[in-house]
Amino acid sequence: MKKNKILAVALAGLMLAFGMVEAQAQDMIKLRFGKLSPSLGMLRGTVAEQQGFFKKHGLDVEVTEFRGSPELNTAAVSGEIDIAHTGLSSVLVLRQRNLPVKAFYVETGAAFYHLLASPEIASLQDAVNKGASAAVSGIGSLDYVVTRYLFKRANLDPNKIKYVQAGNPGQRTAALEAGRVQLALSAVPETYEVMRRGKVKELAKMADYSKDFALEVLWAKEDYIAKNQEAMKRFLAAMDDASLWIRSSPEANAMIAKYLSLNSASPSEDAKASLGEATFPTVAEHKARLKELLAGCEPLAADALENGQLKADSPAALVQQIFDLRYVQ
């Protein structure tokens, strides 16, 4: 019995060593990856970097974290980074400027946006009737579009709401709690802590309208997508490993709580609850659920068409225009 156990351990060690040698035998491909500051939607790229999954798949990845989408967009278009990770709105804005970029992967499917309101706002209809003010990071930003989308899906006019630029997510909810605005969009896990403080209430949530909302996408310049297929495949394989680690590792919740700087009484529990509202599809899952994941891009595509940013016969047709699907079909 003891000999068998020693043999099994030795065999496992040999297999691990062989795997490492095999990975080292690959020619390392350099890749520059740009993403935004810590949020649940940005999680998978951080896991892939910290857990060594990029190196495992033969990638030498330089990761750059940007404070906002405009800076990241500029870096991607100028060729300073190869693959970008942002909301779909970045791709729509750049396509409006006739720049040759396309999304190639729905990185995060999440309907974890919650529209919070001050106590005196009874409903979405009441917010419209009162001409309530909503905190947003900027006109045209993702939170601005989602806020408007929630009113439109309730058959209400989003133009009746006043939109006030109020900074990042924490600053927006702070403005709401202080009474400077009446509405603010919040994303988990921040939402949990804000609601526990008891100063505001939930008015609506994205999950009621779009369960597969495409929160984040991976995108790049069209020529990079076409000419660097081996790098792209390795990158997605590393992201697959990160997704599986998030789902199965006993260390995941604590790592996520630390990454998101959660300061609640139960940060690991908040991290766990957050994962229940987000999905990070593997390549196989992306292929199997392609229609649903692309449909999750349609709310933002519909807004772009409505505002005259881009032209297409329908939101679905616009999504087809701005996606390169070669890696997920």
Higher pLDDT, 266 or 21: 266
Going by their DSSP bridges, the two strands 101-110 and 133-136 should be labelled as unpaired
In a domain, 274, yes or no: yes
Provide the 3-class DSSP secondary structure of residue 107.
strand
Domain closes at, from 173, 208, 243: 208
245 and 97 belong to one structural domain: yes
Residue bearing tokens 């994962």: 275
220 and 316 belong to one structural domain: yes
Residue 230 sits in a domain whose CATH number is 3.40.190.10
308 and 230 belong to one structural domain: yes
| Average pLDDT rounded to a whole number, residues 224-251 | 97
Instruction: Find the radius of gyration of the CA atoms of the chain.
Output: 21
pLDDT exceeds 90 at position 303: no
User: By CB neighbour count within 10 A (0-12 exposed, 13-18 middle, 19+ buried), where does 291 fall?
Assistant: exposed
Q: How many domains does the chain have?
A: 2
Bridge partner list, 214: 109
292 and 178 belong to one structural domain: no
In a domain, 175, yes or no: yes
pLDDT in tens, 11-22: 444 444 444 454
In a domain, 258, yes or no: yes
222 and 97 belong to one structural domain: yes
Domain closes at, from 208, 228, 250: 208
Q: What are the φ and ψ backbone dihedral angles of 187, each rounded to 5 degrees?
A: -115, 150
Domain enclosing residue 310, as ranges: 2-109+214-322
Q: Which amino acid is at 302?
A: A
In a domain, 327, yes or no: no
pTM: 0.83
Of 72-81, 109-118, 230-239, the one with minimum mean pLDDT is 109-118
Please give the pLDDT value at position 265: 82
Domain closes at, from 208, 238, 265: 208
Reported confidence tier of residue 10, pLDDT bands at 50, 70, 90: very low
Distance CA 286, CA 282 (A): 6
Distance CA 156, CA 196 (A): 29
Higher pLDDT, 277 or 129: 129
What are the b/e assignments for 309-324, b being 16+ CB within 10 Å? beeeeebbebbeebbb
Lookup: tokens for 182: 């009446």
Q: Are 57 and 237 in contact (CB under 8 A)?
A: yes
Residue 43's nearest CA partner among 149, 166, 187, 141 is 187
79 and 228 belong to one structural domain: yes
Please give the pLDDT value at position 25: 56
Bridge partner list, 35: 65, 85
Q: Are 95 and 319 in contact (CB under 8 A)?
A: no
Lookup: tokens for 212: 């597969």
- Concatenated DSSP letters of 232-260: HHHHHHHHHHHHHHHHH-TTHHHHHHHHT
Task: Report the 10 Å Cβ neighbour count for 329.
Answer: 8
Question: Using the 8-state DSSP alphabet, how is residue 97 labeled?
Answer: T
